[in-house]
C-alpha cells in the first residue's frame, strides 16, 4: 500500500512539473508572438507616417497651402517662385499693379513641398500634381503681401478645388 501511495505522489508531482514546464513554454510562445506583432505594427506605422493618401481634392489643396505657408515662414516670407508669365506666355515681373502676370509655385524648392506634391500626385483620387501661382506681390513699405492660388484637380472627373489666400510677412 505504501509503494502505491509513493507512486501516486510521484505521478502527481510529475504531472504538476510537466504543467509548469508546459505553462512556461506557452508563456514564452505568447510573448514572442506579441513581440513579433508589435514589431510589425510599429513598422507599419512608420511606413504609413511617411506616405499620405489624400481622399479629396479639398484635403490635398489645403495640405498644399499649409505646406506652402510653412515654407514661406521659414524662408523670410518668400514663396518658392518658378517662372513668371503673362496671359500671352511672355516673361513678366510680378508686382501689385500687373493683373495679367502670374508666377508658378516651384514645388521642388524644398523636400517638404516636393513630398506633399508627390503624395498628392500619387493619391488614387487625384493623380495630378498641385498647381500654384503667386498672383500679386504688394508691399505697404514694411510688409510684403502675396496673393496666392492653389489648385488641385482630379483625374477621375470629380472636379477640383481652388484655394486663394493672401499671405503677409
b/e per residue, 95-110, with b = 16+ CB within 10 A?
Answer: eeeeeebbbebbbebb
pLDDT of residue 49: 46
Q: Which residue has the higher pLDDT, 3 or 128?
A: 128
Q: What is the pLDDT of residue 51?
A: 66
Q: Is the pLDDT of residue 13 over 70?
A: no
Q: Could you read off the pLDDT of 25-84 as tens digits, one per residue?
A: 878 888 888 888 877 776 655 544 456 788 888 998 999 999 999 998 998 888 898 899
Q: Where are the domains of the chain?
A: 1-50, 57-168
Over pLDDT 90: what percentage of the chain?
11
Judge whether residue 10 has pLDDT over 60.
Answer: no
**What is the radius of gyration, based on Cα positions, of the chain?**
32
pLDDT cut 70: percent of the chain above it: 80
pTM: 0.65
User: What is the residue-wise DSSP string for 76-118?
Assistant: TT---EEEEE-TTS-B----SS-SS-EEEE-TTSSHHHHHHHH
For residue 12, what pLDDT band results from cuts at 50, 70 and 90?
low
C-alpha cell at 1: 500500500
**Segment 158-169 mean pLDDT:** 86
Mean pLDDT across 1-6: 53
Following CA atoms 83, 87, 89, 90 in sequence, which dihedral angle do they give, to the nearest 10 degrees?
Answer: -80
Cα–Cα dist 155/165, whole Å: 24
DSSP-derived pairing of the beta strands 160-168 and 131-139 = unpaired
User: Any idea which of 12-16, 124-128, 132-136, 154-158 has the lowest mean pLDDT?
Assistant: 12-16
Strands 81-85 and 102-105: antiparallel
Amino acid at each position: 500500500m505504501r509503494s502505491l501511495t509513493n507512486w501516486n505522489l510521484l505521478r502527481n508531482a510529475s504531472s504538476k512539473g510537466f504543467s509548469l514546464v508546459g505553462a512556461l513554454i506557452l508563456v514564452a510562445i505568447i510573448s514572442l508572438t506579441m513581440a513579433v506583432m508589435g514589431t510589425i505594427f510599429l513598422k507599419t506605422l512608420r511606413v504609413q507616417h511617411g506616405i499620405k493618401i489624400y481622399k479629396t481634392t479639398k484635403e490635398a489643396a489645403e495640405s498644399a497651402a499649409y505646406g506652402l505657408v510653412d515654407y514661406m515662414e521659414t524662408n523670410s516670407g518668400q514663396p518658392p517662385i518658378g517662372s513668371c508669365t503673362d496671359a500671352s506666355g511672355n516673361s513678366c515681373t510680378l508686382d501689385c499693379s500687373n493683373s495679367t502676370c502670374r508666377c508658378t509655385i516651384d514645388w521642388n524648392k524644398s523636400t517638404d513641398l516636393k513630398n506633399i506634391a508627390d503624395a498628392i500626385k500619387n493619391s488614387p483620387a487625384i493623380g495630378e500634381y498641385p498647381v500654384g501661382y503667386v498672383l500679386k506681390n504688394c508691399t505697404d513699405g514694411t510688409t510684403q503681401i502675396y496673393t496666392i492660388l492653389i489648385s488641385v484637380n482630379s483625374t477621375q472627373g470629380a472636379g477640383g478645388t481652388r484655394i486663394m489666400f493672401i499671405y503677409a510677412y
